[in-house]
Amino acid sequence: MSLAERHEMMTGEDATWDGGMGSVGDYIALLKPRVMSLVIFTAFVGMMLAPGQIHPVLAGVGLLCIAIGAGASGALNMWYDADIDRIMSRTQKRPIPAGKITPDEALAFGLTLSLGSVLTLGLVVNWFAGAFLAFTIFFYVVIYTMWLKRSTPQNIVIGGAAGAFPPMIGWAAVTGNVSLESLVLFLIIFMWTPPHFWALALFKSGDYRAAGIPMMPVVAGESSTRTQILAYAVILAPIVVSPYLLGFASPVYGAVSSVLSAVFVALAFNVWRKREGDAARKAAVRLFSYSILYLFLIFALLLGENLLARLV
């Protein structure tokens, strides 16, 4: 006897089912497409910068697997965080809190895609990259989402590693290992993550407070967060310039990345300086918006140089 039949016998009426409501678009939303696009881009840069050869078809499949793996961890994150997503204005419209997809459906979707992407990457490209992708999904879902996010204000500092791994996976897809260069790409995203998210948390701290997430402004206060944002921005600057210092980017990259980093530090300083009212909010929004452009431009520069070198 099926569950539905049993349910009908127990209630004595025709059963309705709250599942099966999700459209294709809702399932795509579960993959966090905007995060995915950044993952594809940084993984692609990692692949292009890596020494060695990979067949373009295999590189394409590798990128697809990394993208699907990232999407799967997004779906698993939404499955686990449905309770707090319901509270925060930024996340209320996600498919699970909006009642379009049930948590069980999201869990099945996320697990299926995780397994599929890891196995395909392992079989088609190499098993080191496959294992690295599996570890990244585990890190994001278990270490960050289940453990750190709700327990420590250092949540996004450590959890940020999950978002920083994709260029290393891209690199590993070509070379089968890690190296100093790929570690630098990792460090750029890793050190960029705290000021990026804390800038967001400064103007969304009400949301995080209501949901009981111990983001830095909620736990340590806004003043301490502003100081830490500035500290991370200052530490990030030399790391961003280091591809030039280590010899795998040109002086042009060195010069442009220095200017971009100086702007980032200046905006972080502005956040540190303006602490009251609308000006403080505007400074945080400006830093948050610029941080996305900053990371994109850094990786675009590295990619552009590499492509140019291949053509010449």
Q: Where along the sequence are the contacts to another protein (CB under 8 A)?
A: 2, 4-5, 7-8, 14-17, 20-24, 27, 55, 57-58, 61, 124
Minimum Å distance from CB 48 to another protein? 19
Q: Which is nearer to another protein, 83 or 104 (CB)?
A: 104
Q: Is residue 63 exposed (0-12), middle (13-18) or buried (19+ Cβ within 10 Å)?
A: buried
Q: Which is nearer to another protein, 8 or 209 (CB)?
A: 8
Minimum Å distance from CB 23 to another protein? 5
> How many angstroms separate the Cα of 126 from the Cα of each of 47, 72, 223?
13, 20, 47
Minimum Å distance from CB 278 to another protein? 43
Q: How far apart are CA 163 and CA 287, in angstroms?
A: 19
Q: Which is nearer to another protein, 72 or 230 (CB)?
A: 72
Q: Which is nearer to another protein, 17 or 238 (CB)?
A: 17
Minimum Å distance from CB 27 to another protein? 7
Which region, left, alpha or beta, applies to residue 114 given φ > 0 means left and ψ of -120 to 50 means alpha? alpha
Q: Which is nearer to another protein, 23 or 177 (CB)?
A: 23
Minimum Å distance from CB 45 to another protein? 23
DSSP string, 144-203: IIIIITTT-TTHHHHHHHHHHSHHHHHHHHHHSS--HHHHHHHHHHHHHHHHHHHHHHHH
Q: How far apart are CA 251 and CA 108, in angstroms?
A: 48
